[in-house]
Amino acid sequence: MAVFDLNQPASSLSEEDYVVASNSHVIFISSSINTGCDSFASHDDNASLLRIVYDSLDECIEMYSKYASEVGFGIRLSCQKRLKWGYVKQKYIVCNKEGCLKDVWLKTLDPKKNDRQVRSSNFRVCGCKARVVFDMVPDITKYILTTFDVKHNHKLDRVKYKHLSKAERKLTYNEQLFIIKAANANIGVVRAHNLYTGLKGPSSLVHGTQTEFKNFTRGVNCFNGDSDAQMLITRMEQRTFNERNSESLWMVT
């Protein structure tokens, strides 16, 4: 039984070991750790894995999220079944490349007059069947792992590209606050990203690239809309009210 340490970088593994670690048909997770996975192995019998019981669905999602982050793929919460009184009876968590491409009908003779807008993205689903299924234990609100399909039909992310995954590119509250304060200081988005990267260290420690910083700024501007002008007018009116004894001249164009 070949055991691989997930804390070991993929670059230190040989090519054959990496193929086995990436595409092994069955995964064994140490049962001593309930919400994480320190090592995994290719094993013919996954009975010990399927006996693990989790206290809640949050622990199930956390376990599979940690496993996916270490192995090198993203996850997506899929369908679920509920009981009559509202409890989740069965929960599916799949690879984020599960599914098939949707057909988009376009007028190829005159692409400029198309009603549908095709978004440019380098992410493509490829019908990956990797998934886990958690079922609720009868009479108690705990969940047991019943299905663990680990075979992927696509390449997995290397360790050095882990910071570019979808989960790692989500901006935290501190980064969002830094973008807003930088905008108030009349600092552009690209320069704000360069400053934040210089403060944090290498780019692998920063959540999000320049594109995520630009998208967040665009979302903030769309949320504010025309409210910026109204906030300026309100501020000037308050200043005039507070400074009645002094002359305040301002004009809105």
Say if residue 158 is in the same domain as residue 180.
no
Task: Decide which of 162, 188, 223 is a domain's last residue.
Answer: 162
Which of 80-84, 87-91, 109-113 is least confident? Answer: 109-113
* CA atoms within 13 Å, Cβ hemisphere of 27: 27
Looking at the fold, whether 11 and 124 belong to one and the same domain comes out as yes
Specify the DSSP element, H or E, that contains 3: strand 3-5
121 and 51, same structural domain?
yes
Whether residue 219 is predicted with pLDDT greater than 60 in this model: the reply is: yes
Amino acid of residue 152: H
pLDDT, position 47: 54
Instruction: Give me the sign of the Cα torsion angle 7, 11, 17, 21.
Output: positive
Residues 40 and 121 in one domain: yes
157-192: pLDDT as tens digits: 888 888 888 878 888 888 899 999 998 888 988 999
Domain that holds residue 208: 173-242
The answer to whether residue 249 sits within a structural domain is no
Clarify whether residues 156 and 180 are in a common domain.
no
pTM: 0.60
Query: Cα–Cα distance between 23 and 36 in angstroms, integer?
Result: 20
Structural domains in the chain (count): 2
Asked if residue 167 is part of any domain, the answer here is: no
Residues 86 and 210 in one domain: no
For residue 83, pLDDT beyond 80: yes
Same structural domain, 195 and 106: no
Place of tokens 């010990």: 48
What would the pLDDT profile of 37-53 be if each residue is shown by its tens digit? 433 434 344 556 677 88
Q: What's the confidence (pLDDT) of residue 90? A: 92
The mean pLDDT value for 19-24 works out to 35
